[in-house]
């Protein structure tokens, strides 16, 4: 005898429908854009029988073109063949291989720190490291535009989170001064920033930030996700050029952007790293990076070391800025390879992005909550597969779109 079919309430489906419509109404609905990538170009498959569209990459984070580099791919495939597809357990169980140790040593030497740990991703690093260092009685002071992984780490830590206006170190200092005279506050302080902001491409005054951290005895976390591989004499990023306190400073970053692989890293003192091995939950309770990703990052690091390719990328970025400026476009104050073209309304940003895509350029529209809702934008990120001619063509097409930018306002 079959059981009578139970009927279920569809309240959840209704709620999901409403949530999705609310996003659509605000121009914030997102969907996956399935692409293939070969030779620095993206290919979007059309309906069956039609040729695929070729798109120039003005959007990915493969800044140095290393994700498709032959030596990087070969290192990944050899490691997978020798050591397998997975590390098969957490670093603290059986997942710490010699390849992890070697990569960590090389990264520490490169960034000039005593120690380094690689994590499952850059997101894992920030969201795991912050709660390992501060807790309920402590405070995190984070730039208003810090990446979600930093904010999520601060929330997970249960420390009190204070956001200071973007790159406004006077405001940060006055918040810290206030906290330092509060009789009831005896906790630790952690300051978090990015060295190149992911959506704005600008940078804080790191030398001053280091001084402020010292003055208020704070731990300083600098996320160099968008700087390593690009800035610095040997691609070590921006903090390496500043004389910072090695005991209380951490550099976090990703292996997934300029280094063309996958995973995250934190460089710090040996003692700090010992603490993180014992306390960072995203390190302890997650499977170690697979050998292929570790080997790919190791090979990429060798290439960056040898040739400092960031110099050419930054010169391409200054060329694009000049072309955009000559054409009347405005962008933020940064000088990096990330150029934000602020459009304003979300649906307009999506329209410009679609226009560019129809004309052979892939530039994703960035909308809330990634950026403030009224500051939707095209986040142009350049890579070494692009040429000055590509930049000229891009500006010509952008100009022909008929869209005009909004002046970059306060955030």
Ligand X SMILES: Cc1ncc(COP(=O)(O)O)c(C=O)c1O
Is-catalytic flag, 147?
A: yes
Q: Which is nearer to ligand X, 59 or 149 (CB)?
A: 149
Which helix (H) or strand (E) segment holds residue 305: the answer is helix 291-307
Q: Candidates 57, 104, 173, 194: give the one binding ligand X (CB under 6 A).
A: 194
Entry field: residues in the chain: 411
8 A C-beta contact, residue 236 and residue 206: no
8 A C-beta contact, residue 110 and residue 298: no
Kindly state the smallest distance separating residue 203's Cβ from ligand X, in Å. Answer: 12
- CA 67 distance to own-chain centroid: 16
Can you tell me the distance from the alpha carbon of 300 to that of 65, in angstroms, rounded to the nearest whole number?
10
Output the residue with the shortest Cβ distance to ligand X. 122
Kindly state the smallest distance separating residue 175's Cβ from ligand X, in Å. Answer: 22
Is-catalytic flag, 226?
A: yes
Which residues on adjacent β-strands are paired with residue 365?
378
Place of tokens 């010699």: 98
Is-catalytic flag, 223?
A: yes
Choose the binding region for ligand X from 63-71, 117-125, 266-274, 281-289 (rule: CB under 6 A).
Answer: 117-125
Among 231, 230, 292, residue whose Cα is nearest residue 261:
292
Among 157, 167, 165, residue whose Cα is nearest residue 190:
157
Can you tell me the distance from the alpha carbon of 224 to that of 63, in angstroms, rounded to the nearest whole number?
14
Kindly identify the residues of this chain, within the stretch 58-77, that bind ligand X according to CB under 6 A: none
Q: Are strands 41-44 and 36-38 parallel, antiparallel or unpaired?
A: antiparallel
Can you tell me the distance from the alpha carbon of 118 to that of 264, in angstroms, rounded to the nearest whole number?
6
Kindly state the smallest distance separating residue 263's Cβ from ligand X, in Å. Answer: 7
Is the four-CA dihedral 342, 337, 243, 137 of positive or negative sign? positive
Q: Candidates 59, 87, 113, 121: give the one binding ligand X (CB under 6 A).
A: 121
Is-catalytic flag, 61?
A: yes
Structure tokens belonging to residue 17: 């429908």
Q: Which is nearer to ligand X, 147 or 321 (CB)?
A: 147
Q: Which is nearer to ligand X, 256 or 383 (CB)?
A: 256
Active-site option among 59, 121, 167, 198: 198
Choose the binding region for ligand X from 9-17, 122-130, 154-162, 390-398 (rule: CB under 6 A).
Answer: 122-130
DSSP state of 288: P
Can you tell me the distance from the alpha carbon of 345 to that of 350, in angstroms, rounded to the nearest whole number?
9
Active-site option among 61, 88, 399, 401: 61
Say how many residues touch ligand X, by CB under 6 A. 13
Is-catalytic flag, 305?
A: no
DSSP state of 239: G
Among 225, 207, 222, residue whose Cα is nearest residue 263:
225
Active-site option among 100, 124, 257, 337: 257
Kindly state the smallest distance separating residue 49's Cβ from ligand X, in Å. Answer: 36
Strand order in the sheet with 41-44: 36-38, 41-44, 53-57, 361-362
How far, CA to CA in Å, does 273 sit from each of 58, 116, 132, 285?
Answer: 36, 7, 11, 16
193 lines the binding site for ligand X (CB under 6 A):
no
Each residue 146-165 as x (binds ligand X by CB under 6 A) or -, in order, gives: -x-x----------------
Is-catalytic flag, 194?
A: yes
What 3-state class would DSSP assign to 191? strand
Each residue 240-269 as x (binds ligand X by CB under 6 A) or -, in order, gives: --------------x-x-------x-----
Kindly state the smallest distance separating residue 186's Cβ from ligand X, in Å. Answer: 30
236 lines the binding site for ligand X (CB under 6 A):
no
123 lines the binding site for ligand X (CB under 6 A):
yes
Choose the binding region for ligand X from 33-41, 78-86, 116-124, 333-341 (rule: CB under 6 A).
Answer: 116-124
Beta-sheet strands, E only, within 301-375: 338-344, 361-362, 365-366
Kindly state the smallest distance separating residue 121's Cβ from ligand X, in Å. Answer: 3
Can you tell me the distance from the alpha carbon of 243 to that of 114, in angstroms, rounded to the nearest whole number?
15
Kindly state the smallest distance separating residue 118's Cβ from ligand X, in Å. Answer: 11
Kindly identify the residues of this chain, within the stretch 74-93, that bind ligand X according to CB under 6 A: none
Each residue 204-233 as x (binds ligand X by CB under 6 A) or -, in order, gives: -------------------x-x--------
203 lines the binding site for ligand X (CB under 6 A):
no
- Catalytic site positions: 61, 147, 194, 198, 223, 226, 257
For binding to ligand X (CB under 6 A), which residues are involved? Answer: 121-123, 126, 147, 149, 194, 198, 223, 225, 254, 256, 264
């Amino acid at each position: 005898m079959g059981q009578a079919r139970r009927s279920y309430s569809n309240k959840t489906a209704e709620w999901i429908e409403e949530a999705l419509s609310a996003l659509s109404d605000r121009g914030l609905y997102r969907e996956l854009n399935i692409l293939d990538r070969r030779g620095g170009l993206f290919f979007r498959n059309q309906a069956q029988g039609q040729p695929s569209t070729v798109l120039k990459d003005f959007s990915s984070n493969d800044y140095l073109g290393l994700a498709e580099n032959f030596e990087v791919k070969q290192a990944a495939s050899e490691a997978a063949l020798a050591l397998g597809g997975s590390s098969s357990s957490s670093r603290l169980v059986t997942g710490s291989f010699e390849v992890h140790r070697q990569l960590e040593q090389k990264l520490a030497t490169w960034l000039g720190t005593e120690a380094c740990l690689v994590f499952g991703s850059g997101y894992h690093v920030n969201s795991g490291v912050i709660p390992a260092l501060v807790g309920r009685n402590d405070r995190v002071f984070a730039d208003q535009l810090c990446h979600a992984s930093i904010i999520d780490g601060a929330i997970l830590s249960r420390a009190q989170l204070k956001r200071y206006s973007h790159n406004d170190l006077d405001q940060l200092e006055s918040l810290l001064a206030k906290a330092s005279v509060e009789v009831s506050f005896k906790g630790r302080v952690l300051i978090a920033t990015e060295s190149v902001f992911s959506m704005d491409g600008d940078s804080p005054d790191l030398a001053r930030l280091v001084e402020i951290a010292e003055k208020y005895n704070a731990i300083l976390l600098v996320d160099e996700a968008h700087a390593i591989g690009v800035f610095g004499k040997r691609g070590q990023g921006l903090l390496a050029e500043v004389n910072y306190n090695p005991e209380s400073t951490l550099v976090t970053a990703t292996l997934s952007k300029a280094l063309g692989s996958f995973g995250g890293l934190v460089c710090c003192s040996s003692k700090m790293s010992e603490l993180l091995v014992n306390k960072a939950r995203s390190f302890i309770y997650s499977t170690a990076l697979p050998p292929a990703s570790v080997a790919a990052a190791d090979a990429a690091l060798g290439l960056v070391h040898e040739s400092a390719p960031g110099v050419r990328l930054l010169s391409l970025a200054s060329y694009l800025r000049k072309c955009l400026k000559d054409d009347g476009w405005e962008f933020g104050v940064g000088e990096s390879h990330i150029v934000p073209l602020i459009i304003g309304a979300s649906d307009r940003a999506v329209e410009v992005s679609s226009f560019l895509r129809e004309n052979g350029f892939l530039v994703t529209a960035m909308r809330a909550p990634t950026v403030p809702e009224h500051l939707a934008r095209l986040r142009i990120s350049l890579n070494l597969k692009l040429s000055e001619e590509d930049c000229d063509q891009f500006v010509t097409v952008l100009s022909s779109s008929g869209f005009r930018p909004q002046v970059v306002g306060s955030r």
